[in-house]
Structure 1
Amino acid sequence: MPTVASNERSTGETPEILAGRYRLERMLGAGGMGVVWRARDLLHEQYGDPEPYVALKMLSEQFSESPDASALLYSEFALTRQLRHPNVLHPYTFEVDAAHRQAFITMELMHGITLDKLLCEKPSGLTWHELKAIAVPLLDALAYIHGRGVLHGDLKPSNVMLSGEEVRLFDFGLGLAEKGPCKRLPHLDRKRLKAWTPGYAAPELLEGATLSAAADVYSVACLLYELASGNHPFRRLPSTQARDARLERQLNAPRNLPRRCWPALRAALAFDPRQRDISAAQLRDALGGGSFWW
């Protein structure tokens, strides 16, 4: 999902209108796998909808040329379609423009600021009140999806949006299902393609291990530490250094986090997944919020 902002339409082969209905207006962002556009739904506009806008996600040119590209995009749609949580972005439709051989997902057009932009505005970190208002609903969303056997796979500041007073988790392009019907869906071969974001990927993922709930917990813990201090806990060091136990031992509690919350966050930041013995729900509760969506 969006990581690089742009105000201009692409001058490449991206069509102006998809499926005879969605007019692409401007690119909202481009990540490693996907490109997201602001699009106007011409059908809704025809029937007088005053806000006929959606976000439209398609795979980047690099991935769209792959023979299984459409299947991967559909997998992301199917994975998130089953989720019903106020802090998880819900998709609208999966469609294919046959003329342009372009698959895409439509979803709610969010208005707000992603957490990476918020960190730029708050270089010293958030106050505890501000942090808790983001951390509790985000961790509740993560606990919810884990409870339904879904793993996110790419938790980082640019994949969480603050929209008014709402927190929204999005971009499940690297996600997968541990159980249920979606477990049979195709997913990205992570051994062939190193798609993890190094600064937030759990050390075991960088070493070739499979995605797990514990890996998601590590990623969200890095994000929360950064929100609390303004600094990444391990300064986005390369994976070979990030596995150095000395760095882990030198980790100090962020100044904006209450002392009582530090042991839980510290456990979530353990390099060794066997020592990362805390769930998203337990971390949520430690930061002061009980479940509100079960």
Structure 2
Amino acid sequence: MLNNTAHTLDKTLRSQLENAVKKARTVAEQAAKAALNRLGVGEPRPADYLNDEQRNLRTRLRALGRQLGDIRHDDRQQDLDNLITSVAYEHWHRMLFARYLEQNHLLMYDQYTALTLEECNELAQEPDVARDEQERRCTTGWELAGVLASKMLPQIFRVDSPVFELSFAPEHQQALTNLVMGLNTDTFHTSDSLGWVYQFWQSDNKERINKSEVKIGARELPAVTQLFTEPYMVSFLLDNALGAWWANQRLTESDWLNAKNEQELRDKASIPGVPLEYLRFVQEEDAQGNKRWAPAAGTFNEWPKTLSELKTLDPSCGTPYILSF
């Protein structure tokens, strides 16, 4: 989806992104807790000062919290831990993703028009041009950018979610805005930065869980197991699985017997756009002293003979030690 993404984050940009995301989680969770408390979402009954719209939102947020695993006690008091985490996560990541889209000229207003954040801000000041209720509720460019991002990825950021009807206090919203805008723009043009974002979001929680030595349950599991697989890991896995199979189909017996080194074999096996730079070969010697090259990972002779017969069970190939075809 993102264009101009060729290189990966260097150490400096990765460190900047890590610091920003860690701070963002702290701020976003404080903001979510304060906003939910203002509506009395965890309280047994709605406060008298809430209007009908706020009461309705409170009810929907309580229902969402229960869906996420928050407990409603016998006295109708309801826990907020899971709801706070979800609200914080969705608000921050919608902002961040909107910035990714904007920086890659993909924040689409319609089929043909990509907007900048400045243009979003101008449109937000003109409620008469709003096309639906979600856009009419926007008072800032960031809110409109978030709505546009939701429309582009409705399965990820649901436009009808009560989470996005919840407004953060101005000081919290400004702090999150500063964190997004403070990121170097090169960050938004790398191929791996989105992958790092999730791991950085979980970093402090992972460290806390590991230090606590608590038994890992469903709530703790994502933080300690769902880690970002760096591009070189995925490339190494693919090159020495599918790439090794491909080399075995493509190279001739003469190639295996007469190649001078691994690079010669990689050059012969590769095709434009697929350099197979991580594919490894070993030279074996039989009892008679005859030497022959072979893929280090094996030849996968039990696999089908044509690509059309392969069925990938893990399309993302995101696990660094398991790949199933």
**Normalising TM by the smaller chain, what interval?**
under 0.3
- Greater helix proportion: 2
- TM-score, length-scaled by structure 1: 0.26
TM-score (norm 2): 0.24
Say which structure, 1 or 2, has more relative contact order (CA 8 Å, 6+ apart): 2
Tell which structure's C-alpha radius of gyration is larger: 2
Higher normalized strand content (fraction of residues)? 1
